[in-house]
């Protein structure tokens, strides 16, 4: 089981990168750099490539609507080059609030667009002369559109790898099935191992049945807050506002992917109550309504025996990469947590 982390630079990017060197020595395998509506991920990943030696570097995630498919492929090839073959391309659709509200482009056909982007990226990395006639993307631009001067091109540079690993962030059944069919990795959110099968078992099986045998086994990536020790259980409540935000506030009624996930986990009434409270502006109440079992089941916070049990449950349910957020007041304590989780996961 690989140990990873999301880059959290709330305290300063340079300081966080300096800490990563110690995490790398402590056994961290991969770091994911987010891109929501803050700084772009690509410039930070390039900086990280120069400041690390062994760590794999992943976008977590690049939104599929914000770059052309060929620019996504070029960017991934460039990051793989400057990192010496350590890049992982994380892709995701994000949601209409960000895509339409921040980028000003329609949020449409996430499944079809992701599938075509994966096809185009792999064609670019193989240095095919790119000709793609998809439903959502046509390259070169078809006759009758534009100047008519476009012609098929291929990537000038020879990529470090012609098959850069692709991880798809997906929650809905169709997207999960597509990730299991096409991608090297799948990244869900709020992963609850005991309830993962009822939420995603069928689509994972359907996608795996169509999977190219040449692909490696699907890398399944979970995320969890991490604190190990007696008396740490209270730190689990730190996740309540985030869970409430996603389940209650990320989208409108009837169009919230995270609320749908909570329902598939078996929390139908709770998901409704959280959304009602959050959308009514009662955010503290929404956080208090998040079930304690969901808070505990998606965390790695508690005595060492509890954390060991959770790792066993995660492994049994199919997790192969574990992204952790070390919760401690000092850098040495956070490094010690990485060392402990590395030991437990081994």
Convert the pLDDT of each residue in 66-78 to its tens digit. 999 999 999 999 9
Report whether pLDDT(95) > 90: no
**Mean pLDDT to the nearest integer, 16-34:** 93
Q: What is the pLDDT of residue 9?
A: 66
Measure the CA–CA gap between 185 and 168, rounded to whole angstroms. Answer: 6
Distance in angstroms between the alpha carbons of the first and the last residue of the chain: 7
Write down the H helix ranges in 224-303: 240-244, 257-264, 268-279, 283-289, 292-297
CA nearest 321: which of 183, 202, 187? 187
- Report CA-CA distances (Å) from 43 to 36, 47, 75: 14, 6, 10
Q: What is the pLDDT of residue 227?
A: 98
CA nearest 103: which of 35, 43, 31, 48? 35
Q: What is the pLDDT of residue 29?
A: 98
Neighbours of 213 (CB within 10 A): 4
Convert the pLDDT of each residue in 263-308 to its tens digit. 999 999 999 999 999 999 999 999 999 999 999 999 999 999 999 9
Convert the pLDDT of each residue in 110-128 to its tens digit. 999 999 999 999 999 999 9
pLDDT level of residue 10 (50, 70, 90 thresholds) = low
Task: Evaluate the CA torsion angle 67, 70, 75, 80 in order and state its sign.
Answer: positive
Report whether pLDDT(11) > 70: no
Could you tell me if 332 and 23 are in contact, meaning their C-beta atoms sit under 8 angstroms apart?
no
pLDDT level of residue 51 (50, 70, 90 thresholds) = very high
Q: Is this model's pTM higher than 0.75 or not?
A: yes
Measure the CA–CA gap between 202 and 312, rounded to whole angstroms. Answer: 22
Report whether pLDDT(7) > 90: no
Q: What is the pLDDT of residue 97?
A: 85
Neighbours of 82 (CB within 10 A): 16
Residue 273 burial by Cβ neighbours in a 10 Å radius (0-12, 13-18, 19+): middle
Convert the pLDDT of each residue in 191-212 to its tens digit. 999 999 999 999 999 999 999 9
To 10 degrees, what angle do helices 268-279 and 257-264 make? Answer: 150
Q: What is the pLDDT of residue 147?
A: 96
Convert the pLDDT of each residue in 133-153 to its tens digit. 999 999 999 999 999 999 999
Convert the pLDDT of each residue in 314-345 to its tens digit. 999 999 999 999 999 999 999 999 999 999 99
Convert the pLDDT of each residue in 207-229 to its tens digit. 999 999 999 999 999 999 999 99
Could you tell me if 77 and 155 are in contact, meaning their C-beta atoms sit under 8 angstroms apart?
yes
DSSP single-letter state for residue 96: H
CA nearest 322: which of 30, 35, 45, 21? 30
Could you tell me if 200 and 177 are in contact, meaning their C-beta atoms sit under 8 angstroms apart?
no
């Amino acid at each position: 089981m690989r140990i990873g982390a999301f880059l959290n630079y709330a305290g300063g990017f340079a300081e966080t990168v300096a800490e990563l060197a110690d995490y790398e020595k402590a056994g961290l395998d991969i770091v994911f750099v987010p891109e929501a509506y803050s700084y772009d991920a690509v410039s930070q990943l390039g900086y990280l490539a120069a400041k690390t030696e062994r760590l794999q570097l992943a976008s977590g995630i690049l939104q599929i609507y914000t770059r052309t498919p060929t620019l996504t492929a070029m960017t991934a090839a460039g990051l793989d080059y400057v990192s010496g073959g350590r890049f992982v391309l994380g892709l995701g659709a994000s949601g209409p609030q960000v895509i339409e509200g921040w980028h000003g482009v329609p949020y449409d056909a996430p499944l079809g667009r992701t599938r075509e982007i994966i096809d185009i990226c792999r064609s670019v990395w193989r240095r095919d002369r790119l000709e793609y006639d998809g439903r959502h993307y046509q390259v070169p631009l078809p006759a009758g559109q534009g100047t008519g001067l476009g012609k098929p091109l291929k990537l000038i540079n020879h990529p470090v790898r012609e098959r850069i690993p692709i991880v798809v962030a997906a929650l809905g059944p169709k997207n999960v099935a597509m990730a299991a069919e096409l991608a090297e990795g799948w990244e869900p959110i709020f992963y609850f191992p005991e309830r993962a099968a009822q939420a995603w078992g069928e689509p994972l099986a359907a996608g795996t049945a169509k999977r190219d045998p040449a692909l490696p086994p699907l890398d399944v990536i979970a995320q969890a807050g991490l604190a190990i020790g007696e008396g740490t259980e209270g730190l689990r409540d730190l996740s309540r506002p985030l869970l409430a935000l996603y389940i209650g506030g990320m989208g409108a009624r009837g169009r919230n992917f995270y609320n749908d996930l909570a329902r598939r986990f078996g929390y139908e009434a709770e998901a409704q109550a959280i959304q009602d409270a959050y959308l009514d502006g009662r955010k503290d109440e929404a956080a208090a309504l998040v079930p304690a079992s969901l808070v505990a089941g998606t965390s790695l916070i508690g005595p060492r025996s509890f954390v060991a049990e959770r790792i066993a449950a995660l492994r049994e349910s199919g997790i192969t990469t574990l992204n952790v957020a070390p919760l401690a007041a000092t850098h040495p304590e956070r490094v010690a947590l990485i060392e402990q989780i590395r030991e437990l996961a081994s």
